[in-house]
Amino acid sequence: MGKDKLRKFAEIDTFPNVYQLDAGKELKGKWASQHFKNDHPIVLELACGKGEYALSMAKMFPEKNFIGVDLKGNRIWRGARTGMDEGIANLAFLRIQIEDIMEFFSENEIDEIWITFPDPQPQDSREKKRLTFPGFLDKYKTFLKPGGKINLKTDNDGLYLYTVEKVEALGLKCHKKTDQLYKSEFYDEVLSIKTHYERIYLKHDKSINYIQFSLE
């Protein structure tokens, strides 16, 4: 591991807006009251990378709380550092394996989920790693409020079509879907937020897919 990564890992251990691994379990069911010190809705950004979506939404919606979730600490460092420097109190980060997410949130604790440009896991053998695999959806259902929305934004056509297929097969409610986000009626201020990877994809004229659905 490079010196810069080591430095960032050491630094985020001292950040008050980052919880690493087992440390986050202590806040299960208590994120709003114990970390954010309010009773506002909580929104998760899964596979958040540098946390561009969570960070931008936290600025747009001060009446909500946002938590970016990822395993890569050197990426989380960027969003957490910016959040601290800019005094964004309604933003936190959780460094965990998303497979273990049920251990960190309680029933009805989360209002909405965003999945922004995750690894599409294109190989059939890695289907269970896709963040919209039914096994993951079952995990989300344990802590997402009834009717809570899940948003997927991706450049990967395969992951988008896979998710559409699963939503239909499972009889879930689809609120919005498009394979041409920037030409669609759904494009708005929130969907205009661009991650580091999205900017790269757009330079290569890739279409951006978006689907919003709920589990009940």
Tell me the catalytic residues.
119
Q: Which residue has the tokens 């708005």?
A: 188
CA distance 96 to 44: 13
E strand or H helix that includes residue 11: helix 3-12
**H runs (alpha helix) in 15-62:** 52-60
CA distance 110 to 41: 7
CA distances in angstroms from 104 to 49, 67, 94, 108, 181, listed in the order given:
19, 12, 9, 12, 32
CA distance 42 to 44: 7
CA distance 69 to 76: 8
Compute the chain's Rg from CA coordinates: 17
Crossing angle between the packed helical segments 73-85 and 52-60, to the nearest 10 degrees:
20
